[in-house]
Amino acid sequence: MTQTNQDGDVSEAQIASHWREEERIHPGAAFISQANMADPSVFERFTEDRFPEYYREYADLLTWDKYWHTTLDTSEPPFWKWFVGGKLNASYNCVDRHLDEHRNKAAFIWVSELEDEEDRVITYQELYVRVNEFAALLRDFAGLKAGDRVTLHMPMMPELPVAMLACARLGVIHSQVFGGFSGAACGDRIVDSGSNTLITMDGYHRSGGMLDHKVKADEAVAHAEANGAKVDKVLVWRRYKGQYQSESPMVEGRDYFVDDLLEEYTGRRVEPVSMPAEAPLFLMYTSGTTAKPKGAQHSTGGYLSYVAGTSKYYQDIHPGDVYWCMADIGWITGHSYIVYGPLSVAATSVMYEGVPNYPDAGRAWRIAERLDVNIFHTAPTTIRMLRKAGPDEPAKYDYHFKHMTTVGEPIEPEVWRWYYEEVGKKEAVVVDTYWQTETGGFLGATLPALQAMKPGSCGPGALGIFPVIYDEDSNEIDPGSGKAGNICVTRPWPGMMQTVWGDPDRFVETYFRKFNKDPDSKSWRDWPYFTGDGATQSEDGYYRIVGRVDDVINVAGHRLGTKELESAALTVQAVSEAAAVPAIDELRGRVPEMYVSLKPGYEAGPEIVAEVKGAISTIIGPIARPAHVWVSADLPKTRSGKIMRRVTAAISNFVDVGDTTTLANPEVVEEIRQAVQSAKVAAGQVPKDIPQAMIDEIRRFGEDA
Ligand code: WTA
């Protein structure tokens, strides 16, 4: 029997997939001979019957002050506790313990966006000194202690990991907000996390200009205050020591220059605070189905074990490698795979301040050549952009990668091939890593020396991760059948978030309710983790992620909640209703488009469009700025009044709108379609080939809203 939902559509699990099976590509002998994990017996160690003990292998990569007594405590589902009884310090594990062997090795090589500015090379010894001095300042000047939260709103400067590790040294929970986010977005996160200290910077280089960043701190503090949270101290690093780059005045008694304060702390050392494995290390806010971003809370012992293990086995980082993850530390990718993972295995991690194509499309490859980078890591959106800007650029530079990662969105096989052939010069393995802010580290990926690559598929579950695909009725879809459904993970793993900060009910509701069979069950078997993604599994066991099944739009690898976008649009006086939908975009994967209707007495016009775009940029950040705002008299709705985002999404993407006869107002569909599509045709914005995955995504878009 075919399942239908209330609007008469075939449910997502029944939608057939139309993937062409891609050929599998095997890693070269040169890679295999040097790989950290080239021994197939690893798969015998990570079998289901060895759960959860197999993760000892990751935890044993760390230095524990006190070894744990219980590997996994599942007594309070789904709040799993890893390595219970153990104690450790994350900053000690990332810095101090490497000093004996690697004191003079670069921990970070920071590259300015300005090509003629010198790199800043920070050895492990230098990092140790800076982390200690800043930790002393945080403790003695800002009065911070274990368990307190601190919000960071920092650009890609070495002071960001220094601040994170200084917090970790004290057991202070850091919450870094992506530097490109607005002051208001930062303010919301200050309120939610209950931080009374904000760490920021005066400015930084972006696309060739000096961006004033400190002004956002003033907005953040004002926004937090308006929402009942007081920020006592704003610690302002200066991009150039002693030279203030911002127009914003320093507020007496609130704002302090870190470089001035640090003079008092020269040479200071702070004992790393030994923290329980279960103590939170940091919060990372991410978008979901409601307007309010949720703080994914990550643990110290479980998280660090997981990123250390995956950095070693999947990223194949050796202490002698030069590893460059071209992402922003303000996202989970940067936390796990620029800072905590690489440093825990004593890597040299490259940090780049600016945009990848400044001043030209060869910039990234010049950096790779100059620093002799051999492991490279970035997102499909960046790969698409570099391919478009300079398809032949990589060949002009003499660098050689052994390993390349892609992360954050599905990668089109055609883009994958350019990455493999041109960027990797067919010498590098490509590892497509599928995971989330919530999961701390990889869920699906190939072990590069042992499992073949397949363009567009992330591969099988990572070691110890056993995914399952459920249909809408919680029936397991036959493994290997190629049918799309909801991808879940059947058992706990150490990198998984502990809870949503301050909102355990939301944690249970978002990630577990849908596929939990018995809310009273004390067995982890009844609590599969729901990712919110749709996926298929092919016969060889490889997963292909087809996109979000919830109300999240993945824009250039960054998650934006439709509700977040809509509530920002609704702050515009004239707007009465708003619906955010994803539109396919050649470079960014998806871009948001807004459909709005107006309150009586307001006229559609370019001012309203500009106001909505402006409101979204200011409230969330420029990354969320909609590509289009379509104003109409009414939006398509069900008889129960629910806005049919699926219909507007189909219109934006020139996809068949399907059956609209059950709508309360079917007549508006055609009106909107003509207006939107004729405008797009006139602007030359008709998408070329809409992949089947996008059509599937549109058909289910906003179903739960
Ligand atoms: C998507 C980023 C396909 C997915 C680490 C997920 C991917 C969301 C991949 C998480 C991939 C991430 N292939 N899709 N390799 N990696 N995604 O929280 O929809 O910023 O749920 O974490 O990005 O995004 P987040």
Tens of pLDDT, residue by residue over 156-182, are 999 999 999 999 999 999 999 999 999
Ligand 1 pocket member 697 (CB < 6 A) = no
Whole-angstrom Cα distance, residue 669 to residue 637? Answer: 10
Ligand 1 pocket member 531 (CB < 6 A) = yes
Ligand 1 pocket member 446 (CB < 6 A) = no
Ligand 1 pocket member 435 (CB < 6 A) = yes
Cα(410) to centroid of ligand 1, in Å? 8
Say if strands 120-123 and 255-257 run parallel, antiparallel, or are unpaired.
Answer: unpaired
- Give me the phi and psi of 84, to 5 degrees please: -70, 135
Share of residues in the chain with pLDDT > 70 (%):
97
Of 5 and 296, more confident: 296
Ligand 1 pocket member 548 (CB < 6 A) = yes
Cα(591) to centroid of ligand 1, in Å? 15
Cα(531) to centroid of ligand 1, in Å? 10
Say if strands 575-585 and 429-433 run parallel, antiparallel, or are unpaired.
Answer: unpaired
Contacts of 508 (CB under 8 A, 6+ apart): 78
State residue 642's pLDDT score.
86
For a pocket test of ligand 1, which of 314, 336, 409 has the largest count of ligand atoms closer than 8 A to its C-beta?
409
Ligand 1 pocket member 71 (CB < 6 A) = no
State residue 535's pLDDT score.
94
Average pLDDT over residues 299-306: 98
Residue nearest to atom 15 of ligand 1 (CA): 434
How would residue 18 be classed by pLDDT, with cut points 50, 70 and 90?
low
Q: Is the pLDDT of residue 10 over 80?
A: no
Q: Is the pLDDT of residue 9 over 80?
A: no
Average pLDDT over residues 11-29: 70
Residue nearest to atom 10 of ligand 1 (CA): 436
Cα(100) to centroid of ligand 1, in Å? 37
Q: Is the pLDDT of residue 704 over 70?
A: no
Q: Is the pLDDT of residue 612 over 70?
A: yes
Ranges 7-16, 194-203, 398-407, 654-663: which has the least confidence? 7-16
Ligand 1 pocket member 554 (CB < 6 A) = yes
Of 550 and 79, more confident: 79
State residue 549's pLDDT score.
87
Say if strands 203-206 and 209-212 run parallel, antiparallel, or are unpaired.
Answer: antiparallel
- pLDDT tens sequence across 681-697: 999 999 887 877 778 77
Residue written as token pair 């600016």 = 354
State residue 630's pLDDT score.
98
Cα(335) to centroid of ligand 1, in Å? 15
Residue nearest to atom 11 of ligand 1 (CA): 434
Cα(649) to centroid of ligand 1, in Å? 21
Closest atom of ligand 1 to 548 CA is: 19
Burial letters 557-589, b for 16+ CB under 10 A, else e: bbbbbbbbbbbbbbebebbebbbbbbbbbebbb
- pLDDT tens sequence across 86-118: 999 999 999 999 999 999 999 999 999 999 999
Q: Is the pLDDT of residue 63 over 60?
A: yes
- pLDDT tens sequence across 347-377: 999 999 999 999 999 999 999 999 999 999 9
Ligand 1 pocket member 296 (CB < 6 A) = no
As a whole number, the mean pLDDT across the chain is 94
For a pocket test of ligand 1, which of 411, 435, 555 has the largest count of ligand atoms closer than 8 A to its C-beta?
435
Cα(434) to centroid of ligand 1, in Å? 6
State residue 16's pLDDT score.
41
Ligand 1 pocket member 410 (CB < 6 A) = yes
Residue nearest to atom 25 of ligand 1 (CA): 436
Neighbours of 353 (CB within 10 A): 20
Question: Does a cis peptide bond (omega within 30 degrees of 0) precede residue 52?
Answer: yes
Helix (H, G, I), strand (E, B) or coil at 64: coil
How would residue 705 be classed by pLDDT, with cut points 50, 70 and 90?
very low
Ligand 1 pocket member 409 (CB < 6 A) = yes
Closest atom of ligand 1 to 331 CA is: 20
Burial letters 37-53, b for 16+ CB under 10 A, else e: bbeeeeeeebeeeebbe
Q: Point out which residues pair with 407 in neighbouring strands.
A: 433
Average pLDDT over residues 482-497: 96
How would residue 34 be classed by pLDDT, with cut points 50, 70 and 90?
very high
Q: Is the pLDDT of residue 8 over 50?
A: no
Which residue in 641, 642, 646, 671 sits closest to 658, CA to CA?
646
State residue 5's pLDDT score.
39
For residues 306 and 492, the answer to whether their CB atoms sit within 8 Å is: no
Residue written as token pair 């289901």 = 48
State residue 703's pLDDT score.
63
CA 660 to chain centre: 36
Q: Is the pLDDT of residue 11 over 60?
A: no
Of 679 and 692, more confident: 679
For a pocket test of ligand 1, which of 436, 530, 696 has the largest count of ligand atoms closer than 8 A to its C-beta?
436
- pLDDT tens sequence across 138-149: 999 999 999 999
State residue 21's pLDDT score.
84
For residues 545 and 533, the answer to whether their CB atoms sit within 8 Å is: yes
State residue 19's pLDDT score.
62
Cα(436) to centroid of ligand 1, in Å? 5
Average pLDDT over residues 379-408: 97
Q: Is the pLDDT of residue 468 over 80?
A: yes
Cα(302) to centroid of ligand 1, in Å? 21
Average pLDDT over residues 118-134: 98
Average pLDDT over residues 256-279: 98
Ligand 1 pocket member 439 (CB < 6 A) = no
For residues 207 and 242, the answer to whether their CB atoms sit within 8 Å is: no
Give the largest CA-CA distance in the chain: 74
For a pocket test of ligand 1, which of 559, 590, 696 has the largest count of ligand atoms closer than 8 A to its C-beta?
559
Amino acid (one-letter) located at 453: M
Cα(333) to centroid of ligand 1, in Å? 10
